[in-house]
Amino acid sequence: MDPHEHDIMRSVEDHYWWYQALRQHVAESIASDKPDFSLLDAGCGSGGMLSVMKKMFPGAHLTGIDASKHAVELAAARGLGAELLQANVHELPFPENSFDVVLSLDVLSHAGVDDSMAVHEMHRVLRPSARLVLNLAAFDFLKGAHDRAVGVDRRYTRPQVVTLLQGASFHLERLSYWNATLLPPIALLRWLSRASSVQDRPRSDFRALPSLLNEILKRMASLELSASRHVSLPFGTSLFAVARKNG
């Protein structure tokens, strides 16, 4: 991702509706019977998810990696006390059975990432029966200027995620699309961004919103994510998965 986009992400992510809803759901999806569990954020960006983990689980041992040196620097500036390394998700610099939880949020979609190798690596560094939590961009028809700006190279369907995780010997516990309510307007905006002339510097969708609108969107997304715990939603702009390491 362009360092400029990481700066945009850092400026909005702690208050932006999409990040707030997703990160709260991630925290609620982590099941650990010990307060000092070890967690890897594989593709930590500017450290927003690690910051939420620090607040929610103050006893956890946190580690983050990102391929971008600038992102790692932004994450380090938060002063979270996490171990932070510049590394690729398909070559994790950790021994086998190192972590109780691995998170990887909107990373496998990126250009240059070997998604199959990455999930095999995540399986390798997880302890037996430990959990992997993923969020992935969904549906190729949603590609647009946003994807070019943030380096998204591929989008997934539910069957593709099932194949990907089962191929790495994960047991899938939960898989659902989300952000379904906003799919039609987002699809239209992405189509318009493709139909318009190619921008010299495409920009992501992330930008500050009026506080009331931001709160409404956050509540809508949170309701969908809560519902996805009980029923798998049939469509949405993203896919959320929880899987357990076999063995």
Structural domain boundaries in the chain? 3-245
Out of 146-160, 185-199, 224-238, pick the least confident.
185-199
Mean pLDDT of the chain: 90
Q: What are the residues whose beta carbons fall under 8 Å from the beta carbon of 73, sequence distance 6 or more?
A: none
Give first-to-last CA distance, the chain, whole Å.
Answer: 35
- Cβ count within 10 A of residue 114: 14
Buried b (16+ CB within 10 A) or exposed e, 45-80: bbbbbbbbbbeebeebebbbbbbbebbbbbbeebeb
Distance CA 49, CA 64 (A): 10
- Output the CA torsion sign for 179, 180, 186, 187: positive
Question: In this predicted structure, what is the pLDDT of residue 236?
Answer: 96
What confidence tens digit (pLDDT) does each residue in 171-198 have?
999 999 999 999 999 988 888 877 664 5
Q: What angle do CA 103, 109, 113 make, to 5 degrees?
A: 85
Question: In this predicted structure, what is the pLDDT of residue 197?
Answer: 47
Mean pLDDT of 143-152: 80
Question: In this predicted structure, what is the pLDDT of residue 126?
Answer: 97
Distance CA 178, CA 70 (A): 30
Mean pLDDT of 14-36: 89
Q: Quick check: 46 pLDDT over 50?
A: yes
Measured CA to CA in angstroms, residue 58 lies from 29, 34, 38, 62, 233 at distances of: 16, 12, 11, 10, 32
What confidence tens digit (pLDDT) does each residue in 70-81 have?
999 999 999 999
- Dihedral pair phi/psi, residue 221, rounded to 5°: -65, -40
Q: Quick check: 148 pLDDT over 90?
A: no
Closest C-alpha to 213, from 176, 184, 182, 236: 182
Contact 106, 137 (CB under 8 A): yes
What confidence tens digit (pLDDT) does each residue in 85-103 have?
999 999 999 999 999 999 9
Question: In this predicted structure, what is the pLDDT of residue 13?
Answer: 79
Radius of gyration over every alpha carbon of the chain, rounded to an integer in angstroms: 17
Mean pLDDT of 118-125: 97
Higher pLDDT, 31 or 81: 81
Question: In this predicted structure, what is the pLDDT of residue 219?
Answer: 95
Q: Quick check: 205 pLDDT over 80?
A: no
Contact 79, 60 (CB under 8 A): no
Class at the top of the CATH hierarchy for domain 3-245: alpha beta
